[in-house]
Amino acid sequence: MKVEINTIEELPAVAERILREYPDERFFALFGSMGVGKTTLIKEICSQIGVSQNVCSPTFAIVNEYSDGNGEPVYHFDFYRVDNLAEAYDIGYEEYFYSGNWCFTEWTEKIEPLLPDHHVRIDITEHDGHRTLVAKMSD
């Protein structure tokens, strides 16, 4: 799936399309440079799955937990401040990643060897104020 995003107003439709394209998936690994819109996209996807809490980047906490519309856990990770894989082990990443619950990761490249074999990879790039989003199943 490839989508061009020209305005923030397009994000609800993009999030809806991601959820429609991957209806059975619960693990979404986002890749992209700082400020490209990873957190903003996660906020919109969370809104569409019924999260009513304030969705914000867990830069210092590493993980935030929300509840979806069914009361099930939703995990949102930001690995920006992680310096090595041992830090991901220290937070018990396996319990989250393999829980079967919604998981969204930012700065995923820092912990990429730990990703579950089965996940949706979302790459977001920016050029002249326009974003390109490419989503695909992991290899």
Nearest to 135 by CA among 119, 115, 112: 119
Tens-digit pLDDT string for the chain (139 aa):
999 998 889 999 999 999 999 999 999 999 999 999 999 999 999 999 999 999 988 878 899 999 999 999 999 999 999 999 999 999 999 999 999 999 999 999 999 999 999 999 999 999 988 999 999 998 7
Largest CA distance in the chain: 40
Does any domain span residue 112? yes
Question: Does residue 118 belong to any structural domain of this protein?
Answer: yes
Tally of domains within the chain: 1
Tell me, what's the pLDDT at 3? Answer: 94
pTM of the model: 0.94
Residue 138 lies in a domain: no
Instruction: Tell me whether residue 21 is in a domain.
Output: no
- What gap in Å lies between CA 76 and CA 8, rounded to an integer? 21
pLDDT reported for residue 129: 84
Predicted local confidence at residue 61, as pLDDT: 86
Residue 27 has a pLDDT of 97
Residue 1 near residue 21, CB atoms below 8 Å = yes
Domain range enclosing 118: 2-15+35-125
Does residue 109 lie in a domain region?
yes
